[in-house]
């Protein structure tokens, strides 16, 4: 088992952070599993980064309206917050990374993943302090969830036992400053934090694809709402899939929509968008395998509130049937 050796106060912060996600999600289970309202309005909760470019594009260019849909895009702070909105009944759908979705699903068995709208093996990058060889790493900054998972895989790919590495619990925005001060020797994260670290002397030495890892983003809904609104959900996913294809083909168009939606520089938005492969699609055997790997890892870490069966919560076959 991968054992975290965090600094005491930071270790408690990680435990509290994980517990808060689980408690918040568990305390709101009923709306997600029992809400079967047939309202025609669809609220989609998303984070505030370029990985949601297709939804920002569809919203800004009126693609939902053109399809006869009443869609409201709700921005959250990211992470589990978007899925928790679905749990609470304040959104019908959300966009979430696979690792985050599975963690919330463990406490809320009524959540389901409809399909994938993006993948990337290069959005997350490994940054080390200047002059440090990967084989000499002794201290890494990590954030809970996918950050911890990727760090474990990276260290093992180098032949380093994660249990013998000091892992300092951080949030992504803290990592560049901690690296510059020498409090950590490296971290795995995404832009703009990677770019900030590079500006302070950090070096990008790898992407997750270099050690065989990637992540996916799913569209999430509650089983109860989907049962009453499958045709509507299919239309919404169809628009997101159409917008995803546009983002992949025309990053400048996607960057403009994203920059406007989340108030970042358009050039920075384009740089981030081009690190991701967008496309709406059904789940595959590889997705089920990846999800099971995440479940096994988080179970070993004691993060999951209950077991999650990827073959149940990932609705394989839903996309071709309903879009």
Per residue in 201-252, pLDDT (tens digit) is 999 999 999 999 999 999 999 999 999 999 999 999 999 999 999 999 999 9
- Does any domain span residue 31? yes
- Return mean pLDDT, the chain: 89
In contact, 179 and 202? CB cutoff 8 Å: yes
Residues 139, 236: one domain? no
In this predicted structure, what is the pLDDT of residue 26?
Answer: 37
Residues 157, 264: one domain? no
Residue 201 CB-half CA count within 13 A: 11
Per-residue pLDDT reduced to its tens digit, 79-110: 899 999 999 999 999 999 999 999 999 999 99
Residues 220, 308: one domain? yes
- Does any domain span residue 11? no
Residues 72, 37: one domain? yes
Of the pLDDT bands very low, low, confident and very high (cuts 50, 70, 90), residue 144 is: confident
Q: What residues make up the domain containing 127?
A: 122-211
Residue 248: strand, helix, or coil: helix
Q: What are phi and psi of 47, to 5 degrees?
A: -90, -170
Total domains in the fold of the chain: 2
The CATH number of whichever domain residue 32 belongs to comes to: 3.40.190.10
Residues 166, 221: one domain? no
Residues 106, 224: one domain? yes
Residues 160, 280: one domain? no
Task: Say whether pLDDT at 299 is over 70.
Answer: yes
User: CA dihedral in degrees (145, 262, 95, 43; nearest 10)?
Assistant: 140
Residues 67, 135: one domain? no
Residues 28, 92: one domain? yes
Per-residue pLDDT reduced to its tens digit, 20-57: 333 333 334 434 434 444 458 999 999 999 999 999 99
Residues 236, 97: one domain? yes
- Does any domain span residue 4? no
Residues 230, 91: one domain? yes
Q: Of 211, 246, 277, which closes a domain? A: 211
- Does any domain span residue 24? yes
- Does any domain span residue 8? no
């Amino acid at each position: 088992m991968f054992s975290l050796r965090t600094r005491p106060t930071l270790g408690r912060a990680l435990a509290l952070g994980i517990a808060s996600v689980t408690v918040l999600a568990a305390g709101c289970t009923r709306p997600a599993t029992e809400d079967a309202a047939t309202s025609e309005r669809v609220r989609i909760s998303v984070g505030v980064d370029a990985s949601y470019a297709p939804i920002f594009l569809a919203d800004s260019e009126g693609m939902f309206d053109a399809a006869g849909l009443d869609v409201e895009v709700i921005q959250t702070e990211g992470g589990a917050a978007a899925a928790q909105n679905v749990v609470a009944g304040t959104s019908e759908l959300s966009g979430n990374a696979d690792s985050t979705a599975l963690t919330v699903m463990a406490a809320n068995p009524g959540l389901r993943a409809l399909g994938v709208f993006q993948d990337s093996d290069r959005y997350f990058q490994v940054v080390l302090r200047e002059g440090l060889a990967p084989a000499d790493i002794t201290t890494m900054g990590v954030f809970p969830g996918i950050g911890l998972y990727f760090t474990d895989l990276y260290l093992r790919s180098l032949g380093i036992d994660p249990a013998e590495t000091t892992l300092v619990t951080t949030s992504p925005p803290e990592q560049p400053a901690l690296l510059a001060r020498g409090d950590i020797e490296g971290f795995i994260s995404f832009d703009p934090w990677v770019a900030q670290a590079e500006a302070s002397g950090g070096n990008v030495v790898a992407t997750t694809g270099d050690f065989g890892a990637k992540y996916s983003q799913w569209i999430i809904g509650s089983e109860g709402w989907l049962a009453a609104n499958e045709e509507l959900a299919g239309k919404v996913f169809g628009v997101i899939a159409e917008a995803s294809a546009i983002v992949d083909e025309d990053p400048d168009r996607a960057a403009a929509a994203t920059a406007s939606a989340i108030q970042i520089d358009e050039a920075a938005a384009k740089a981030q968008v081009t690190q991701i492969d967008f496309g709406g699609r059904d789940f595959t055997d590889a997705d089920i395998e990846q999800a099971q790997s995440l479940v096994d890892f988080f179970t070993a870490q004691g993060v999951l509130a209950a077991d999650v069966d990827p073959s149940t919560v990932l609705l394989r076959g839903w996309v071709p049937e309903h879009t």
